[in-house]
C-alpha cells in the first residue's frame, strides 16, 4: 500500500514540475510591476497545490499501519488541510487581479 502512495506522490511531483515549466515558459504579454507580482503568486500557488498533493501521499504512505485506522494516524496532520485551501484561494485572487490588468485601474482623469 505504501508503494502506491509513493507512486502517486511521484506523479504529483511530476505534475508540479510540468505545471511550473508550462506557466514559466508562457509569460506575460505586457508585464508591469503589479502584474509580475500577481503572476508569481499565481505560479507559486499552482505549483504549491501539486506539491501539497504529493506531500499528502508521502505522509499517508509513510504512516505505519499498526492496527489503527488511517484517520487516527493522520490526526496530527489535520492542519495540513489548510495549505491547499490557502493556495487555492491565492490562485483565485491572483487570477482575478491578473484578469483585471493594470490598465483597468481607475485614475483621476477617469473619475
pLDDT tens for 34-76 read 888 999 999 999 999 999 999 988 888 888 666 667 677 778 8
Domain boundaries of the chain, sorted by first residue: 2-26+36-102
Model confidence at 24, in pLDDT bands (50, 70, 90)? confident
Given a cut of 50, is residue 111 above it in pLDDT? no
The C-alpha atoms of residue 65 and residue 69 are separated, in whole angstroms, by: 7
pLDDT tens for 77-100 read 888 889 999 999 999 999 999 888
Given a cut of 60, is residue 105 above it in pLDDT? no
Task: For 101, list phi and psi in degrees, rounded to 5.
Answer: 75, 165
- Predicted confidence at residue 36, as pLDDT, reads 87
Q: At 108, is the secondary structure helix, strand, or coil?
A: coil
- Predicted confidence at residue 10, as pLDDT, reads 95
The C-alpha atoms of residue 91 and residue 86 are separated, in whole angstroms, by: 9
- Predicted confidence at residue 15, as pLDDT, reads 95
Q: At 73, is the secondary structure helix, strand, or coil?
A: helix
Of the candidates 58, 80, 77, the one whose C-alpha atom is nearest the C-alpha of residue 13 is: 58
Cell 488511517 belongs to residue: 70
Amino acid at each position: 500500500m505504501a508503494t502506491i502512495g509513493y507512486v502517486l506522490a511521484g506523479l504529483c511531483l511530476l505534475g508540479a514540475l510540468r505545471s511550473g515549466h508550462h506557466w514559466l515558459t508562457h509569460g506575460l504579454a505586457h508585464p508591469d510591476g503589479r502584474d509580475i507580482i500577481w503572476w508569481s503568486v499565481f505560479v507559486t500557488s499552482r505549483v504549491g497545490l501539486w506539491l501539497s498533493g504529493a506531500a499528502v501521499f508521502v505522509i499517508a504512505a509513510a504512516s505505519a499501519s499498526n492496527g489503527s485506522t488511517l484517520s487516527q494516524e493522520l490526526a496530527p496532520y489535520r492542519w495540513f488541510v489548510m495549505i491547499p485551501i490557502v493556495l487555492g484561494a491565492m490562485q483565485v485572487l491572483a487570477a482575478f487581479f491578473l484578469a483585471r490588468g493594470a490598465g483597468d485601474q481607475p485614475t483621476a482623469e477617469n473619475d
